[in-house]
Amino acid sequence: MNYYILSINPGSTSTKVALFRNLEEDFTITVRHSVDELKQFLRIFDQYEFRKKVVLDVLEKAKINLKEVNAVVGRGGLVRPIPSGVYRINQKMLDDLRNEINGEHASNLGAILAFEIAKEIGPNVPCFIVDPVVVDELDDIARISGHPELPRISIFHALNQKAVARRYAREHSKKYEELNLIVVHLGGGITVGVHHNGRVIDVNNGLDGEGPFSPERSGTLPVGQLARLCFSGKYTFTEVRKMITGRGGLVAYLGTNNALEVEERIACGDDYAELIYKAMAYQIAKEIGAASTVLKGNVDAILITGGLANSPLLVKWIQERVYFIAPIFVYPGEDEMFALAEGVYYALKGEIPIKDY
C-alpha cells in the first residue's frame, strides 16, 4: 500500500510544504514571509489563518489531490516535555500550544495547521507531530546543574538527531535501540546528544545558552561574568537574551551568521576569523569528548549532521580532536520534511507506536 503523507513545517520566516509517497518526495516548496507580512500579527499563534491559507494555496497551485492524502504531519512545537515518538494531535496538545505552555515559537503552529488541514481533507484523516524540540529522555543525573533552581533542560534538534541515528542504524543493519551514539547537529544552534539504547540520555540545551557557541548562539558563558553583566545597568533583559540567542557566537565575534562568508574570509587570510571558527570547532569537540564520558567510552559511532556539516573545514577540525573516540560518519544537511514523513510512515505501517499526548 502507498501512503501519501503531507508534511508542514512553519518556521519563523517561512512555511515549508511537502508531499511524500511512502518515503519518496513527490512535491516540496518553501514560501518565504517578509517582515511586513508578519508584523501585523501580535502573537505567533495569530498567524494561524494566514499560514493555513498559504499552505492551501500552495497545494492548489501544485494541483495536489488532497483526497489521496492518508495523513498530515506538522512540525512539533514547544509542547510539554515528552519522550521521543510519533504523537497523535489532540485538543490538549493544541491548547498547550495556544497557551504557549513552554514558550512561543513558529513551530507551535505546526500541530494546529496539520490538525485543521487534515479536517479539510476528510473526517478520518489522522494528523501527527514527530519528535518536537522538547523531547525529554534525560537520565535523572543529567538534570542536575549545580543549583536546584536551575535544572538542566532538554531542548535540542530531536527530529534530525533521531532521524540520522535511525538512518545510521539501518545502513549498518543494527537496531537503534541497541546502539551507543553521539549525534552532533551543526546549525544555527549546535546540540550534541548522547543516544543510549534508543534514548537521548544527555544533551546540551542548544536554544538557551549551553554547550558550544554556534553561528548565532553564545553557548555556555562564564556565569560570574554573566551575572555581573546582567546587573551592570548597561543592558536590558531583552538585550542580554539576544546576546545568548540571536546575537551570540559568530554574529557577536564576526558580525555574520553565514559560515560560507567566514570561510571566504579565512581563505583571504583573515587570521581572526580563522581563530573564531576554529574555536567553535574546538568547543564542539570538547562537548563530544564530554558526551563520550557519559557512555564510559563505549561509543559505537559519532554522527555529524546539520547544515554546517557541509563545511569540510569545520568537520576536519572537529575530526582531528575526536577521531580516537569512535568512527565518525557525516550526514550533511537537515531534511526535516523527510524526517517528519518518515516517522509517520513507519507509524502507519505499525513498525513504531503512535503515542497519545
String of DSSP letters for 146-189? SSTTS-----S-HHHHHHHHHHHHHHTT--GGG-EEEEEEESSS
In this structure, which amino acid lies at residue 24? E
Q: Which residues are within 8 A (CB) of 272 and not within 5 positions of it... i.e. 6 or more apart? A: 254
Q: Which fold has domain 4-136+336-356?
A: Nucleotidyltransferase; domain 5 (3.30.420)
Provide the residue ranges of all domains of the chain, joining segments of one domain with +. Answer: 4-136+336-356, 175-332
Nearest CA to 284 among 258, 253, 313, 242?
Answer: 313
Give mean pLDDT, residues 221-233.
96
Interval 64-71 mean pLDDT: 91
Average pLDDT over residues 209-233: 95
Cβ-contact 336, 9 below 8 angstroms: yes
C-alpha 220 chain-centroid distance: 19
Give 253: exposed, middle or buried? Use CB within 10 Å, 0-12, 13-18, 19+. Answer: middle
CA 122/CA 37 separation, integer angstroms: 30
Say if CB 8 and CB 117 are below 8 A apart.
yes
* 73 touches 8 (CB < 8 A): yes
Helix axes 271-294, 312-322, angle to 10 degrees: 50
Tally of CA atoms within 13 A in the half-sphere of 81 that contains its CB: 9
What is the model's pLDDT at position 38? Answer: 83
DSSP H/E element including 240: helix 237-244
Cα–Cα distance for residue pair 307/211, rounded to 1 Å: 18
In angstroms, rounded to a whole number, what is the distance separating the alpha carbons of residues 221 and 217?
11
Q: How many CB atoms lie within 10 A of CB 183?
A: 29
**260-268 contact pairs (CB < 8 A, 24+):** 263/311, 263/313, 266/313
Which residues have C-beta within 8 Å of that of residue 273, sequence separation ≥ 6? 254, 262, 265, 266
Average pLDDT over residues 184-202: 96
Determine the average pLDDT of the residues in 331-351. 93
CB atoms within 10 A of CB 293: 10
Domains 4-136+336-356 and 175-332 share a fold: yes
Query: Is the CATH number of domain 175-332 3.40.630.30?
Result: no
122-176 pLDDT per residue, tens: 889 999 999 998 999 999 999 999 999 999 999 999 999 999 999 999 999 999 9
Quick one: pLDDT at residue 39?
Answer: 82
**pLDDT tens digits, residue range 280-323?**
999 999 999 999 999 999 999 999 999 999 999 999 999 999 99
d(CA 357, CA 347): 15
